Chain A
Amino acid sequence: MEITTSFREGGTVLSVNGRIDTTAAPELEQAIIHEIDKGTRKILLDFSSVPYISSGGLRVLLATAKKLKNPGDKFGLCSLSPEVLKIMKLAGFTSIFSIYQNEGEALASW
């Protein structure tokens, strides 16, 4: 899995490329924590190149939602594959954080 970080006016976008499995989930968590530790309070995860997420990956997303829940904080996901979208929806995660069609839609609403 590879993560590319880009800084936008609306927040920081972490573009993830690859499966978020047991090995990759802690790497994703570290990348997010690194951004939060730097003071970033608006994080968007671009999942356009993520074909699979494990339950460990889901727990990382919940942990991030916990960290970014103060007024003004933003946390969301965009460009999900049908497989990952299905997992998110059926696990009930869409009520915790926002899921957007694409990056533009996410940043426009922030």
Chain B
Amino acid sequence: MRERRLPAGDDPLPSLSWQPVAGAPQASIYPLIRKIDIISSNSYLIATPDVILVIDPGGLSEQGALLSRVITDCREEDDRPVFVFLTHSHVDHFLGVQAHPSFASPETVVFAVHEEGARALENGDRTITQADLLGQPFSPITIGLHLFTGERADMPGIPGSLCFSNGATITIMSDQAPQGLPHERIQFGTGPALDLYHTPGHSPDSICLAIGNLLFCGDLLFAANPGLAGVTGWSQEALIHSLSSLEHLIATRGITLVCPGHGRIITAKDAIRMFSQVRTEALTLSDIAELNRERAAATAEFAEDCMEQVNELFTIMAGRLAYVTYILDELGEAGMAEEASALISGDTIDELLEAFRDFSREYQQKSSSPVPLMLKAAQVMGKLERTFQQKELAGIIDPTMVRRAARLLADYITMLRGFTLPCEQADYDLVPVIEAIITGLSVPPLSDEEILSGPDDEGDFPRILLSRIGTRPLLEEMECGIVAKTPSVRALIDPGHFTDLVTYILEDLVGTGAGRIAVRTEQGASAAKVTITGDLPGSPQERRTWQFLRGLAERAGGTLVIRENEGLQSFEFTARVP
């Protein structure tokens, strides 16, 4: 879960200490604020003379143990019934209680959850609760108080009395809040009332709770984040409505602090700004795919493929820039060398790539959920994107390399956010497309003639010099010809991804030591075939790069078969004809 521009400053309600609740005399709050992650939420305890409330006990057993101890202390001081409210029924908000018998005793503790979440918890639903997605085991839970039931909604404004196994008697009334949200008010004895608002979007059972001047908003601040938007039960339309209603609620109900499900407590002013940002992002998320375990696994797999290529491309780009700097130093151009080396931070890149590698290794050994890897890849790719200055770099080193690196990062974020990767297939003649790719990889971007006739001014000379040193055409010293059995070979392809695919293959063959490369095109009745063959010493082993290339071939509109035979390595791309 990504931290969303949380403002700096002291915590308005320090974690792990009791303090008064503003606007609710006799109520005090004990926040348990955690560093943001997907394993466990924050927890909040609220004590009044009549009741002890737990809001989201969290996903960790040790968190449940700590809450249990604090509750025991409170009850020893003054025995009261305990109610556990969930802002929604995702496992990271409740799983921590399952290891503690004190939470399983209905004589003491009653769980209160929105009706939809209550059903999911009672039925042990692993999809709605995200137990499947996060790879967590959980046992069904008995929910004593179903919130926002249809029966109460049918009798708005009429308070009803309910008695519970923990000895509590509450008064509960259902109505519609003026801000356009379904609302329930619960009165525990004579103490302050607890207001509940149904705010679906992140999940169908999401609720916000308010007591005094505090609002507890669950995961709504993160509901548009990549890796969370689209989870089973997520709804763009409901989310946008909930967010705009909440902005209005915070502004009109006298809320001063907002307590999120993850991360620090924030002021009402910051919350309104952040809800507005989430709403703006949510508006862009039309037609995203459902984020279930299957898609999360596919995204994590794609993350590993992408990171393998990102690793290679960024190391090569950083190496190329180091090479440019080396040559400039040799030429006595120390100033230019320094400027060039600042365009990409090799150390930062190495650290980020290693952090991902370590994380991935640990993930393979321990994690039962693809989500952490999926999110870690996004974090690393986001940071990588900020470390290199694409435009300036493309003016020095091979621009196709810079473009492919940028496209990889963009493709991954697109997939992570739940969108389909762009694949705009159209009817193309592959022969001129391949010829253009080969030509582009055979000649430097600036010819000798262009350099000699170029401007003499001091501004342009360094640019030309840098480009000349930094760009080494891949096929400059390589014999690479195209053999077209027919003058024209038509196929349905996505030209951008096809160009990347051919470039990656040629780069792989040249890089791994091919002496000669041949490209052959064939037109069949139903399929067109492009075969790229290189002579390579030894028998190449299956590499992760090949898996990436097969995926890229699909995005280009076809399939890829890789063969090795008697020192020749062939990449056969097949696409449909129009």
A interface residues (Cβ-Cβ under 8 A, vs B)? 21-22, 53-56, 58-59, 62, 65-66, 82-83, 85-93, 95-96
Q: Is B332 an interface residue (CB 8 A)?
A: no
Determine if B316 and A91 form an interchain contact, defined as CB atoms under 8 angstroms apart.
Answer: yes
Measured CB to CB, the closest approach of chain A to B353, in angstroms, equals 7
Among the 9-residue stretches B129-137, B320-328, B443-451, B553-561, the one with 4 or more Cβ atoms under 8 Å from chain A is: B320-328
Contact pick for A82, options B318, B347, B512, CB 8 Å: B512
Measured CB to CB, the closest approach of chain A to B406, in angstroms, equals 17
Determine if B323 and A90 form an interchain contact, defined as CB atoms under 8 angstroms apart.
Answer: no
Nearest A residue to B470, CB-CB: A92
Q: Of B314, B329, B508, B513, which is in contact with the most chain A CB atoms at under 10 Å from its CB?
A: B513
Mark each residue of chain B from 411 to 450: 1 if its CB lies under 8 Å from any CB of chain A, else 0: 0000000000000000000000000000000000000000
Contact pick for B326, options A22, A53, A62, A90, CB 8 Å: A62
Say whether chain B's binding surface is mostly helix, strand, loop, or mixed. helix
Determine if A86 and B512 form an interchain contact, defined as CB atoms under 8 angstroms apart.
Answer: yes
Q: How far is the CA of A56 from the CA of B472 in the complex (A)?
A: 21
Determine if B351 and A55 form an interchain contact, defined as CB atoms under 8 angstroms apart.
Answer: no
Q: Of A53, A62, A85, which is in contact with the most chain B CB atoms at under 10 Å from its CB?
A: A62
Q: How far is the CA of A57 from the CA of B320 in the complex (A)?
A: 13
Nearest A residue to B344, CB-CB: A55
Determine if A59 and B322 form an interchain contact, defined as CB atoms under 8 angstroms apart.
Answer: yes
Determine if A66 and B312 form an interchain contact, defined as CB atoms under 8 angstroms apart.
Answer: no
Determine if B322 and A55 form an interchain contact, defined as CB atoms under 8 angstroms apart.
Answer: yes
Q: Of B312, B350, B354, which is in contact with the most chain A CB atoms at under 10 Å from its CB?
A: B350
**Given contact pairs A86-B312, A90-B511, A55 touches B318 in the complex (Cβ within 8 A):** yes
Q: Is B346 an interface residue (CB 8 A)?
A: yes
Determine if B513 and A58 form an interchain contact, defined as CB atoms under 8 angstroms apart.
Answer: no
Q: How far is the CA of A85 from the CA of B511 in the complex (A)?
A: 6
Q: Is B315 an interface residue (CB 8 A)?
A: yes
Q: How far is the CA of A89 from the CA of B474 in the complex (A)?
A: 9
Nearest A residue to B351, CB-CB: A22
Determine if B354 and A21 form an interchain contact, defined as CB atoms under 8 angstroms apart.
Answer: yes
Nearest B residue to A89, CB-CB: B511
Q: How far is the CA of A104 from the CA of B319 in the complex (A)?
A: 27
Measured CB to CB, the closest approach of chain A to B239, in angstroms, equals 41
Q: How far is the CA of A36 from the CA of B570 in the complex (A)?
A: 44
Contacts of A66 in B (CB 8 A): 326, 329
Determine if B322 and A82 form an interchain contact, defined as CB atoms under 8 angstroms apart.
Answer: no
Q: Is B510 an interface residue (CB 8 A)?
A: yes
Contact pick for A58, options B322, B354, B507, B543, CB 8 Å: B322
Contact pick for B350, options A21, A88, A95, CB 8 Å: A21
Nearest B residue to A86, CB-CB: B511
Contacts of A95 in B (CB 8 A): 472
